[in-house]
Amino acid sequence: MRKQRASKIEALWWFLAAVLLLWWISVEAEAVTTQPGECSLTAMAALQVAKMERPRIEDRTDLLFVQFTRFIWHRARGDENKFLRWYRIACEHRRVPRYYRVVNGEMVRGNGA
């Protein structure tokens, strides 16, 4: 009798472990298939702007964006992964401009992005 109860409890633990494993796998798979966030998209645009020779600058915000992207690019020493990670982190902490894109080789901000 005691042995049956122990085997049922052990089976219950294995079942719970399997359910937790499946839940963890589904959470990880969901994280990979979602759309990139605004900071990730802006970081990719910032990388393109950092590589531009003469981006068109219209106001002070554009100037600061270009200067900061070039500063991070030089600090990263040409490592794109470092640059993207650093810019995304700064964007998440709201230390750099958002909502920039590069469309047809031009820097676009706001609704046009």
- pLDDT, one tens digit per residue, over 33-48 is 567 788 889 999 999 9
7 residue type, one letter: S
The model's confidence at residue 93, banded by pLDDT at 50, 70 and 90, is very high
The tokens describing 40, both together, are 């990730």
Cα–Cα distance, 40 to 6 (Å, whole number):
51
Look at residues 99, 79, 95 and name the one whose alpha carbon lies nearest to residue 37: 99
Look at residues 50, 90, 86, 87 and name the one whose alpha carbon lies nearest to residue 66: 50
C-alpha angle 93/50/92, rounded to 5°?
Answer: 10
